[in-house]
Structure 1
Amino acid sequence: MRDGTPCAGEFGQQLRDLRARSGMSQEALSDAAGVSVRALADMERGRTRGPQHRTVQALAEALGVDEAGAARLEQSAAAGRPRPRTATGPAGSGTLALPRDIQDFTARGDALARLAELVPDAGAGLPAVTVVAGQPGLGKTAFAVHAAHRLAPHFPDGQFALDLHGMDAEPTSPRDALARLLGAVGVADAAIPSGTDDRAGLWRSLAGERRLLLLLDNAAGEFQVEPLLPGTGASLTIVTSRQALAGLESVHRTDLALLRREETVELLSRIIGPDRVGAEAQAARDLADLCGHLPLAVRIAGQRLLSRPHERLGKLVARLATEARRLDGLQAGSLRVRAAFALSYRQLPPRSQTLLRRAALAAGTDFSPETGALLAGLTCDEAATCAEELTDAGLLQSDPTGERYRFHDLLRLYAAEQIDAEDGPEVRDAALDRTALWMLRRATAAALHFDVDHEQTASRSDPDPDPDTAPIGREEARAWLEAERAEWLAALRRAHDTGRHRQVLDAAQAMHWFSDLNQHWEQWVEVFRQSADSARALGSRQEEAVHLNYLAWAYNLCVHDPLAALTAADSALAAARECGDGLQQGWALGYGAGALHRLGRTEEAQQRLRDSARCLASQESPQGRLAELTTLNSLGTLLRQAGRAAEALEIHRRSERICQAGVPGRTIEVVGLYHAVARQQIGNDLAALGRWHEAEEPLRQALAAFDAAQMPAWSEQARLDLGRVLGATGHPEARTTLLAARDALVELRNPRQVEAAEALAALDADGARTA
């Protein structure tokens, strides 16, 4: 002892004496303190230079040492611990203590619990490894540090944190990282082997004898991590990386999601205080949304507000609401969202950089490899490879089932900035034009699968731009049109805005029959508004009449705006009369009648339908026959609703006879759908006449036909009609049928959802009265 200070070697003797006085064996002390028997033996023999403070605390408590005795034991241990050394030489050796924990750490309870479940395996002598990967700003390091502090008591032989500098130009080499780890467990510089493999072997040997917690932060790749992982022993290693590190075998993976909105607000509250958040609760929720629920963005916003205690949350919300200013607003001192993204972007190969920034031009919330390829000027295979690379780097998120990718909102803004910085307006516009042209051609070709006038592929005037990858058959065509809805709609919009009006008309015309299968898509109003405007720009009154009629249909059935529908129908009627097109006059009268009916002008609606029927009866074309069937079915419906069910039944029987006779030039499938409409209306007519049992069969037939054709906007209304009839007859299927119809109509945003809810309530009320 020098100057009253214990020497390093005294700790082992002191520990042996305390254990002997307590009457505890090494095994008993091991169990009580949570320290391995091997570690205890090394301490008592002086092989350990100085155990960690937490280990000494655990030993003192297990031994029942008083406060003064515990202080003496800690002083002895501290004397034997390696002192921090100046970083000299390549090893850069020094202390590897855990970074300071974040006091306002929020959420992640499930992920922390799953990580804690790995501790029993580590206790059983099985080294556990977890990889925390994901996009920039998710709080991977903060999570790992917080988890390490929580789990530290389980690893009394040491907790080490090592930054691998994975985002630097020259990440830490495995050789240098091993030197620092060996120094941390007490190996003198002179005793550290020179070769990487020898260092790794020594590290595994030493780590295998200890209960260690190892935090390897910011890993560049598997090459850095693998040599540092203990092979045996009771250790837990937490690895953080922006890369997926998919090549690491037998590891646990901790997936951190974006915070939920309430968690985001909670984090903000912990940073700036609950009173300030409570005073502007809605602004706090809006701020959470503008930050995209990304922990880094929320922390930056919170730190900014914390440094400005008198600034209102609403002021920052107003600034961030403008996309062009959002990334500028998300910075506080050295913390910047843009900088976090830039670190990852600069690590990418040039081709992947191009895909990332150009993909920000995609129209939808997600994009396919073919869209990325068109925007970036790559092949589809190249784009898919780059997209997977970007997903592994945490810069894109992949769809769980399909080959599609999406951005975080803030990452999309960053990528869009890079377009301006690296590509410029000419390159950007060329990419958008190239993509729009290709998308519009494919959308047109895909939609023609549903057009009865183009049922044979050979008849198409505008073939698919890439026949080898074109959708085959209606199912594939439907899937493509649904998946790429935002993209082809943006292509249509760009074609219109750049004056390519013939392409707009061709695409919209091809969509006509497909739109009828998807009445619940509100964007049909925009499609046909654009096409009617393009027809006007080309000076074609006949095509203008056609597309104004389509627009009237969309206003009537897709967005339920009868006033706008009547205006479009009247304009279509004027254009059709001017060019002498009787077919379009008939359609315009019919669509106008539908709008008038919805406006409650029943007598005017009936008159227009009679005028439409007379106009169309003189048309000899297949299109004229189908239009006449539509008009007759609508007229019969109005008559039934006016209390004239017998007349309605007669008109709908007439429609049925036309369908049964067939329509030359139209397939059995197409005519079958018109027949199904007639059967549905016949069922409703019979129900209105109180002939409930007769009504059931035609309604079931109609429903089956619409279901087979995958026409939910039609089938769910027929399901509602059938449910009402079943309810009137006391059929046991009535309630389940009405319930299914109601839920589907709500999802389709169909106004008849109110009827379904009322019918269901009435059925339940009847059941309660008779119970």
Structure 2
Amino acid sequence: MEFQLLGPVRAWNDGRPIDLGVRKQRFVLAMMLLDANKLVPAQRLVELTWPEEAPRSARGVIHTHISRLRSVLNAADAERHGVALISNGPGYMLRCDPKRIDVNKFMELCAEARGSADDETRIRILDEALALWEGPALASVAAEEVRTRLTRHLDEARLLAMEQRIDAHLRLGRHAEVIHELTELEAQHPYRQQIVAQLMLALHRSDRGPDALTAYQKLYHRLDNELGVEPAPALRDLQTRILRDDPSLNLNPKEKLKAGPRQLPPDVDHYTGRARYIEQICELLTPQPGGVLPVVAITGKPGLGKTALAVRAGRRLVAEFPDGQLFIDLQGNGPRPRDPSEVLARFLRDLGVDGADVPTTLEERVGLFRDRTAGRRILVVLDNAATEQQVRPLIPGNSECAVLITSRRRLTGLDMRQLVDLDVLDQADALALLRDLIGEDRLASADASARRIADLCGGLPLALRIVGTKLRSRPHLTVETLAERLEDERTRLDELVGGDREIRASFLLSYDSLDAEHQRAFRLLALMPDNGLPPWAVAAVLGVDHRTSERLVEDLVDVNLVEAVPGRYRFHDLIRLYAQEKLAADQERDAARTRIVNAYLYLGKRADALLEFGGLYQFEPPPFTPDTPGVLAEIDRGPAAWLDQEYPAILEAIEYAAAHGQDELTCRLSATVAAFFELRAQWADLKRVAELSLAAAERFSSPYWTAYALFAAGLAARETRDFRRAEESFRAGLKILPQADDPLLEVVTLLSVGVAERLQGRWDEAAKYFDGCLSVLDALDKPRWRAYTLRESGVLDRYRGNWERAEQRLLAAVDTFERLGDQRWIGASLRELGIVRRHVGDLTGSLEILIRSRDELRAAGDPRREGAALRCLAETHRAVGSLDEARACAERGLDVLELTLDSHGLACTRIVLADVLIDLGDLDGARAQLDKGLQALSVSRDPRWHGKALITQGRYLAATGDTTGAEAAWDTAHRLLSGVGAVEARQVSELLGR
């Protein structure tokens, strides 16, 4: 596990990024890392997080951030890495090996560089240290005032390291190479006299004496006019020596580098990010004694900045290759890539071979090139390579040289040390590039729009540079306006044009290099959804067998037009838009779309039939037999996991079918994902497909599909607490059910209506629907649905305090689910049974049952119900008096539920945690949880949980001494709970002394 503070605050677990949560949470982690292995008082965290005025709930919020960070770290196996975030009295401590934090690595490397007597070694170490920085320390997590206060010493250490590195270059005679870097540093730190002194010396040694004196005059006037002081004596002395052309300022000729080609292009201005790639490339290309010639290739899609990365890495490596650096653009994406024989002729002339002595054949030129590079340390940078055949003759034979290649192709046939697969910029680096291009002030005032631009550019550096340059050169064009223009997919590529730079032209080079078969594949794959396609779906889109589709798409991966991710292929967003442009006039488009929709319909129906609430509808899908190995077995093994991956494609197909009047197809596709959306609590998606399906069913007058759509719409409305709409949908569905002629759909609808009535506190009506459901089931052999109904009826009995009948029905449900091997519903039914045992006083039994419930639900992969089980465990632990265990369960429940869309369950868990915190005496923490929970429950139209929340509010008010407010809260709670006949009304009566 590694931590980064020198730039955006990040963490990695075995090379994979860890999601650290919201900005303030990342800031809290940064504070703990800056003082790792020391106790950080909670008050200090509060003062730094809210430098102006902290809210009353600040300590509770800090505790919540710490708790969530602890969960994040534990999920990343922090214990294995020796990392632990612990509470300790008045504060917190992060135990961690200091070497895992980049700040400490940086300081260690700087100390090591200072102790080195060799300038080459010092430069190498300082390059490694500075490469750890990816922007200002603590970037994007702290206000600038706080960031400066906390990181001033780090900024100073970074600047000192830069100066020491430049001093070493100057001692080695590389004055010309550091002028550009010094000019940038002087602009960033205009009062830093050491930088001005270095710039003056570098300019003087480059025979630019007047420029050196101008640099001095600029500083002199700046200091005089703005601060009223003169430059330091050492700087004034340097000016005098330059005026006199003091020979002692020049290096001894023996100290100068040996002559050799210096062909690397200048560094790209406004370069941001890529520090890890640069560090990796430099390490790979550094020659090792007795090793083999290092060859490294950078590959990636168009517009990623492969050349800029190669140049920057090459410039970092100049000290390792004092005999020269060769650079050539091989024009591999153009219609006529450079002939390697012609390239060798140029290289030989650059290495001192007279033109008349350059051999005529390729073989002879290769031999002479390797002879001229033998015994010398030369870096060869081959930009924009076309093929392995083009590159091989250009590789020296001397292991002390190195070769760095860039190519859109992966060059898998080339022997190399490493293929560096360049990726897009993350959002932090993308924003940093925009900020550098257009200015901090202009970007800060349009933060949301800037983030949207970064997303719409897909992190592609070329696109970001075009946008940034356009904004910088057109002051009248606002960030908000450009973001709005980029939102339109139809014209986005038109906006990404600036001067001679154009995203579309970059893509066109790659497209034109394909043959007709691969161009067709590229166009048809534009039909893929945003989340990509699995191999079987690629074959369906292309209308070919698996082997052919695999060959075609892998070839497109090799030229970086398509991305391969585990189990899928996908486009970069901008390349997808380009492919869609090419597809617009393709005659095969409609046939390809039909093939892929039919495939999803067939496989989606198969997956749905295996889900708990699936398989309710009746239709025969079009025949489809995938020849991709393992597809059907994958669905049978894990239908929900398969739908996790594929539902976005099905949703897109539903939207398309609905928009194009394909009504029956809309209903069928919607049915394949309805049960899955219920399983994953994706109520917004269920509501959307239900609406589309209902409109389609009414258009072609289908009672069956109308009833099915009304059931789905009612279920989505019920689970989002929109009970008015749920009632409308369910009643309309019940009215049309006789025409649908489907007894199982009648069962499902009756059961859903009963649950809706129960949630609204209409418990007599709920009981009637449950009884009616059981009556219909008497004539059906559907043990699973009988168990579902018994469980829901048992919950109603529990609410009313009918403990004996509740236990009977819940035990019957558990027994059936155990026979069926249904782990999820075993766990869900045991949770209800555990609550019953707690209410009848069997606390030990309750704990045992609830622990098993939690374990079953966790194993079933159901975080929503696992979170509910943890909430119930917290309540039982509290009843036992184990408050620490109760708090841990409630906090874990919050963490789990925040990964779901169950806002109601989250609110209920906050109330339970508030009760525990009141018992522990943490009234501030209790207030923070209570406020959030009450706010959600007061609008949920769930009278029972609203009443329970008011009981907790009364306890909090009583603990703070507000007895009047407590009695008012309990009065309201009593009215709500007694109004529905809830057993908790007795508890309130006791609190009120009635």
**Shorter-normalised TM-score: what interval?**
0.7 to 0.9
State whether residues 716 and 741 of structure 1, in contact with CA within 8 Å, keep that contact through their aligned partners in structure 2.
yes
Q: Does 1:749 align with 2:901?
A: yes
State whether residues 803 and 840 of structure 2, in contact with CA within 8 Å, keep that contact through their aligned partners in structure 1.
no
Q: Which residue of 2 aligns with 1:297?
A: 463
Q: Which residue of 1 aligns with 2:578?
A: 414
State whether residues 613 and 632 of structure 1, in contact with CA within 8 Å, keep that contact through their aligned partners in structure 2.
no
Q: 1:315 aligns with which of 465, 468, 481?
A: 481
C-alpha RMSD of the superposition: 4.0
One-letter identity of the residue aligned with 2:737: A
Q: Which aligned pairs between 1:686-705 and structure 2 lie closer than 5 A?
A: 686-703=837-854, 705=856
How far did residue 257 of structure 1 move? 2.4
Q: Which aligned pairs between 1:337-356 and structure 2 lie closer than 5 A?
A: 337-356=503-522
How far did residue 410 of structure 1 move? 1.0
Q: Which residue of 1 aligns with 2:276?
A: 110
Q: Which aligned pairs between 1:628-707 and structure 2 lie closer than 5 A?
A: 629-641=787-799, 644-645=800-801, 647-654=802-809, 656-657=811-812, 660=815, 668-669=819-820, 677-703=828-854, 705-707=856-858
One-letter identity of the residue aligned with 2:755: G
Q: In terms of Rg, which structure is larger?
A: 1
State whether residues 589 and 612 of structure 1, in contact with CA within 8 Å, keep that contact through their aligned partners in structure 2.
yes
Q: Which residue of 2 aligns with 1:759?
A: 912
How far did residue 186 of structure 1 move? 0.5
State whether residues 632 and 652 of structure 1, in contact with CA within 8 Å, keep that contact through their aligned partners in structure 2.
no
Q: Does 1:214 align with 2:380?
A: yes
In 2, the alpha carbon distance for the partners of 1:140 and 1:651 equals 67
Q: Which aligned pairs between 1:394-473 and structure 2 lie closer than 5 A?
A: 394-399=560-565, 402-420=566-584, 422-423=585-586, 426-450=587-611, 462=621, 465-466=624-625, 469=628, 470-472=631-633
How far did residue 442 of structure 1 move? 1.8
Do the aligned partners of residues 435 and 72 (structure 1) sit closer, same or farther apart at CA in structure 2, a change above 3 Å counting? closer
Do the aligned partners of residues 679 and 298 (structure 1) sit closer, same or farther apart at CA in structure 2, a change above 3 Å counting? closer
In 2, the alpha carbon distance for the partners of 1:511 and 1:304 equals 44
In 1, the alpha carbon distance for the partners of 2:563 and 2:600 equals 23
How far did residue 463 of structure 1 move? 7.7
Q: Does 1:564 align with 2:725?
A: yes
Do the aligned partners of residues 636 and 658 (structure 1) sit closer, same or farther apart at CA in structure 2, a change above 3 Å counting? closer
Q: Which aligned pairs between 1:172-187 and structure 2 lie closer than 5 A?
A: 172-187=338-353
Percent identical pairs in the alignment equals 29
One-letter identity of the residue aligned with 1:110: R
Q: Which residue of 2 aligns with 1:171?
A: 337
State whether residues 517 and 713 of structure 1, in contact with CA within 8 Å, keep that contact through their aligned partners in structure 2.
no
In 1, the alpha carbon distance for the partners of 2:671 and 2:426 equals 43
Q: 1:613 aligns with which of 753, 767, 771?
A: 771
Do the aligned partners of residues 650 and 231 (structure 1) sit closer, same or farther apart at CA in structure 2, a change above 3 Å counting? same
Number of aligned residue pairs: give it.
Answer: 687
State whether residues 629 and 674 of structure 1, in contact with CA within 8 Å, keep that contact through their aligned partners in structure 2.
no
Q: 1:262 aligns with which of 428, 441, 451?
A: 428
Q: Does 1:722 align with 2:867?
A: no
In 2, the alpha carbon distance for the partners of 1:671 and 1:289 equals 42
How far did residue 526 of structure 1 move? 3.2
Structure 1 window deviating more from structure 2 (266-275 vs 205-214): it is 266-275
In 2, the alpha carbon distance for the partners of 1:499 and 1:165 equals 49
State whether residues 570 and 588 of structure 1, in contact with CA within 8 Å, keep that contact through their aligned partners in structure 2.
no
Structure 1 window deviating more from structure 2 (107-116 vs 159-168): it is 107-116
Residues 190-243 of structure 1 show CA distances to partners (whole Å, capped at 9, x for unaligned) of 211222122112111211222222221111121121211122153232211111
Q: 2:392 aligns with which of 198, 220, 226?
A: 226
One-letter identity of the residue aligned with 2:393: P
Secondary structure class of the residue paired with 1:324: coil
Q: Which residue of 2 aligns with 1:369?
A: 535
Structure 2-normalised TM-score?
0.62
In 2, the alpha carbon distance for the partners of 1:280 and 1:171 equals 43
Q: Which aligned pairs between 1:565-580 and structure 2 lie closer than 5 A?
A: 565-576=726-737
State whether residues 451 and 512 of structure 1, in contact with CA within 8 Å, keep that contact through their aligned partners in structure 2.
no
One-letter identity of the residue aligned with 1:412: R
State whether residues 219 and 241 of structure 1, in contact with CA within 8 Å, keep that contact through their aligned partners in structure 2.
yes
State whether residues 130 and 237 of structure 1, in contact with CA within 8 Å, keep that contact through their aligned partners in structure 2.
yes
State whether residues 632 and 651 of structure 1, in contact with CA within 8 Å, keep that contact through their aligned partners in structure 2.
no
Secondary structure class of the residue paired with 1:434: helix
How far did residue 137 of structure 1 move? 0.4
Residues 517-542 of structure 1 show CA distances to partners (whole Å, capped at 9, x for unaligned) of 43346423334444444443443435
Secondary structure class of the residue paired with 1:240: strand
Do the aligned partners of residues 72 and 443 (structure 1) sit closer, same or farther apart at CA in structure 2, a change above 3 Å counting? closer
Do the aligned partners of residues 123 and 704 (structure 1) sit closer, same or farther apart at CA in structure 2, a change above 3 Å counting? closer
One-letter identity of the residue aligned with 2:568: R
Structure 1 window deviating more from structure 2 (226-235 vs 476-485): it is 476-485
In 2, the alpha carbon distance for the partners of 1:385 and 1:335 equals 32
Q: 2:653 aligns with which of 462, 484, 491?
A: 491
Do the aligned partners of residues 693 and 122 (structure 1) sit closer, same or farther apart at CA in structure 2, a change above 3 Å counting? closer
In 2, the alpha carbon distance for the partners of 1:471 and 1:377 equals 19
How far did residue 747 of structure 1 move? 0.8
Residues 713-756 of structure 1 show CA distances to partners (whole Å, capped at 9, x for unaligned) of 43442343234323433568655544443322211121212333
Q: 1:523 aligns with which of 667, 673, 685?
A: 685
State whether residues 853 and 869 of structure 2, in contact with CA within 8 Å, keep that contact through their aligned partners in structure 1.
yes
One-letter identity of the residue aligned with 1:650: R
Secondary structure class of the residue paired with 1:117: helix
Do the aligned partners of residues 675 and 258 (structure 1) sit closer, same or farther apart at CA in structure 2, a change above 3 Å counting? closer
State whether residues 529 and 648 of structure 2, in contact with CA within 8 Å, keep that contact through their aligned partners in structure 1.
yes
Q: Which aligned pairs between 1:322-333 and structure 2 lie closer than 5 A?
A: 322-333=488-499
One-letter identity of the residue aligned with 1:729: V
One-letter identity of the residue aligned with 1:100: P
Q: Which residue of 2 aligns with 1:553?
A: 715
One-letter identity of the residue aligned with 2:835: N
Do the aligned partners of residues 592 and 57 (structure 1) sit closer, same or farther apart at CA in structure 2, a change above 3 Å counting? closer
Secondary structure class of the residue paired with 1:238: strand
How far did residue 366 of structure 1 move? 1.6
In 2, the alpha carbon distance for the partners of 1:518 and 1:612 equals 24
State whether residues 96 and 162 of structure 1, in contact with CA within 8 Å, keep that contact through their aligned partners in structure 2.
no
State whether residues 372 and 383 of structure 1, in contact with CA within 8 Å, keep that contact through their aligned partners in structure 2.
yes
Do the aligned partners of residues 489 and 310 (structure 1) sit closer, same or farther apart at CA in structure 2, a change above 3 Å counting? closer
Secondary structure class of the residue paired with 1:566: helix
In 2, the alpha carbon distance for the partners of 1:317 and 1:512 equals 35
Secondary structure class of the residue paired with 1:132: strand
In 2, the alpha carbon distance for the partners of 1:495 and 1:445 equals 20
Residues 48-83 of structure 1 show CA distances to partners (whole Å, capped at 9, x for unaligned) of xxxx9959999x99xxxx965998998xx99x989x
Q: Which structure 2 residue ranges, 5 or more long, are not aligned?
A: 1-117, 122-171, 179-203, 206-244, 923-994
Q: 1:201 aligns with which of 345, 353, 367?
A: 367
How far did residue 171 of structure 1 move? 0.9
Do the aligned partners of residues 670 and 576 (structure 1) sit closer, same or farther apart at CA in structure 2, a change above 3 Å counting? farther
In 2, the alpha carbon distance for the partners of 1:321 and 1:195 equals 55
Q: Which residue of 2 aligns with 1:9?
A: none
Q: Which structure 1 residue ranges, 5 or more long, are not aligned?
A: 1-30, 35-51, 83-94
Residues 69-102 of structure 1 show CA distances to partners (whole Å, capped at 9, x for unaligned) of 998998xx99x989xxxxxxxxxxxx87322322
One-letter identity of the residue aligned with 2:605: T
State whether residues 590 and 609 of structure 1, in contact with CA within 8 Å, keep that contact through their aligned partners in structure 2.
no
Residues 280-304 of structure 1 show CA distances to partners (whole Å, capped at 9, x for unaligned) of 4443333222222211011111222
Secondary structure class of the residue paired with 2:326: strand
Structure 1 window deviating more from structure 2 (270-279 vs 359-368): it is 270-279
Secondary structure class of the residue paired with 1:156: coil
In 2, the alpha carbon distance for the partners of 1:56 and 1:700 equals 71
One-letter identity of the residue aligned with 1:656: L
How far did residue 141 of structure 1 move? 0.9
Residues 618-656 of structure 1 show CA distances to partners (whole Å, capped at 9, x for unaligned) of 552336775565455434434544xx32x1541441353
In 1, the alpha carbon distance for the partners of 2:557 and 2:822 equals 48
Q: Which residue of 2 aligns with 1:129?
A: 295
Q: Which residue of 1 aligns with 2:559?
A: 393
